[in-house]
């Protein structure tokens, strides 16, 4: 009887999950659409209307292993940011020393003024320099800023728009490097040297490229999602020059913002978009990244409960509250050995009365939604790899992809 109930329940649930299950043919269609959007983003006259921005980074080569010296790094792209001190030794071709400190960014600061945010960053950098006994030295700074920016030069970068829950006033349309320097200047207790501004995808590609010279793609699957790759200069129509290559920050999170992914958006994706602070923007990212996956799962669970396929139709206050089903729960529920037990603990914490069948259905929902995320990333990554292969006239491309981000690191599959 129990196994019959399980299979009937799973069959009915499967109908709700069907729209998340993308066939190989559908993924190939998605890849073809992205391929077209890459060309639009790179075009001299089409880029300003393109949903996939294909931003030049002014990074012209991957590392060759001869780099050396002391550097500071700032990494801002989510609810925390990191400050690092890195010492690179050329002879040994390795990083000899790396100290870092994580600083939290309070929710109200993510929605406050740009001046407050940059003053906070400058203060955290000051504390770090004191702790590392580096006050008084003027070190070059690498600034990883993981939001869509129009890079004018390596040290001049204009924020196009905030994403991932940030909405600080007075920053969009401004040079982010200048805002950081002004905040440091306001403090007046330390100084920094030259600044190299990079997107987190570029930072990932470069740091992996330091160990593996064949790394020419960087990908992030974390709070948001994005990728970069080495494009032939002759195809980068917005920048003068025909020779060599330049790293392109695709900003693929915006794929679908012109409606091209309507056919794969589910009713749950549309609700997530509507409830976000950037409605209609970053369509692709909202199907993939850590900021949204937990919320998609929550909405599916609410619907299944309303239709009496879960928890005997009895919901809880927590399950009805946006944001309460965290993306990290998905990783815990999908663990190979303790997944079901984790699911049951999480459901209890959310005030739900569950039976074994409920925990299995919840696991199936998590698996379906994270699998869609992975497949969409795979389709987009294949698009980049094929582009590089065709650019170089190769039948077969051998390359390395540098990947980072909390979803990639923490999810068991």
Tokens representing residue 164 in the block: 């991932």
Distances (CA, A) of 326 to 46, 49, 260, 409, 411: 38, 34, 28, 16, 13
Residue-by-residue pLDDT tens, the chain, 413 positions:
556 566 667 788 999 999 999 999 999 999 999 999 999 999 989 998 999 999 999 888 888 777 788 899 999 877 788 999 988 876 655 666 678 899 999 989 999 999 999 999 999 999 999 999 998 899 999 998 888 898 888 899 999 999 888 999 999 999 999 999 999 999 999 999 999 998 889 989 988 888 888 999 999 999 999 999 999 999 998 888 889 999 999 999 999 999 999 999 999 999 999 999 889 999 999 999 999 999 999 999 999 999 999 999 999 999 999 999 999 999 999 999 999 999 999 999 999 999 999 999 999 999 999 999 999 999 999 999 999 999 999 999 999 999 999 999 999 99
pLDDT at residue 78, as a whole number: 77
In whole angstroms, give the CA distance from residue 74 to residue 83.
Answer: 5
CB 193 within 8 A of CB 138: yes
Confidence (pLDDT) at 90? 67
Q: How far apart are CA 110 and CA 164, in angstroms?
A: 10
Strands (E), 146-293: 149-153, 156-159, 195-198, 215-221, 225-232, 245-249
67 C-beta neighbours (distance < 10 Å), count: 14
Q: CATH 3.30.420.40 residue ranges in the chain?
A: 69-198
Neighbours of 312 (CB within 10 A): 11
In the chain, CATH 3.40.367.20 sits at 1-57+213-413
> Mind telling me the catalytic residues?
82, 146, 200
Architecture of the 1-57+213-413 domain:
3-Layer(aba) Sandwich (3.40)
Helix, strand or coil for residue 176? helix
Residue 173, φ and ψ in degrees, nearest 5: 85, 0
Q: For residues 350 and 190, what is the distance between their CA atoms, to the nearest angstrom?
A: 47
At residue 262, the 3 state secondary structure works out as helix
Task: Please give the pLDDT value at position 70.
Answer: 86
What superfamily would CATH give domain 69-198?
Answer: ATPase, nucleotide binding domain (3.30.420.40)
């Amino acid at each position: 009887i129990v196994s019959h109930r399980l299979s009937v329940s799973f069959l009915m649930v499967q109908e709700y999950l069907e729209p998340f299950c993308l066939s190989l043919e559908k993924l190939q269609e998605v890849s073809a659409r992205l391929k077209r959007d890459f060309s639009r983003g790179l075009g001299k006259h089409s880029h300003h209307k393109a949903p996939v921005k294909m931003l030049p980074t002014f990074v012209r080569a991957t590392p060759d292993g001869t780099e050396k010296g002391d550097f500071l790094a700032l990494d801002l792209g989510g609810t925390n940011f990191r400050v690092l001190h890195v010492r690179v030794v050329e002879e040994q071709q390795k990083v000899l020393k790396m100290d870092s400190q994580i600083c939290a960014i309070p929710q109200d600061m993510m929605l406050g003024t740009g001046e407050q945010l940059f003053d906070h960053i400058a203060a955290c950098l000051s504390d770090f320099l004191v702790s590392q006994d580096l006050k008084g030295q003027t070190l070059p700074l690498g600034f990883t800023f993981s939001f869509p920016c129009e890079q004018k030069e390596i040290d001049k970068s204009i924020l196009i728009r905030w994403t991932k829950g940030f909405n600080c006033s007075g920053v969009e349309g401004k040079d982010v490097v200048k805002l950081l320097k002004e905040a440091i200047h306001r403090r007046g207790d330390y100084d920094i040297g030259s600044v190299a501004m990079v997107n987190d995808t570029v930072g990932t590609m470069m740091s992996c490229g330091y160990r593996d010279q064949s790394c020419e793609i960087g990908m992030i699957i974390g709070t948001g999602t994005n990728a970069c790759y080495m494009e032939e200069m002759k195809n980068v129509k917005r920048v003068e020059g025909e020779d060599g290559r330049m790293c392109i920050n695709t900003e693929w999170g915006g794929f679908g913002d012109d409606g091209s992914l309507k056919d794969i958006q589910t009713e749950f994706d549309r609700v997530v978009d509507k409830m976000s602070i950037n409605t209609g923007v970053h369509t692709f990212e909202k199907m993939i990244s850590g900021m949204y996956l937990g919320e998609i799962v929550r909405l599916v669970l609410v619907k299944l409960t309303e239709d009496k396929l879960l928890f005997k139709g009895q919901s809880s206050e927590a399950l009805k509250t946006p944001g309460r089903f965290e993306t990290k729960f998905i990783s815990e529920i999908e663990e190979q050995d303790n997944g079901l037990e984790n699911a049951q603990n999480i459901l209890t914490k959310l005030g739900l009365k569950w039976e074994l069948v409920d925990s299995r259905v919840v696991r199936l929902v998590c698996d379906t939604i994270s699998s869609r995320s992975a497949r969409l990333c795979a389709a987009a990554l294949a698009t980049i790899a094929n582009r590089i292969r065709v650019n170089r006239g190769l039948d077969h491309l051998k390359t390395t992809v540098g990947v980072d981000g909390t979803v990639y690191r923490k999810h068991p599959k």
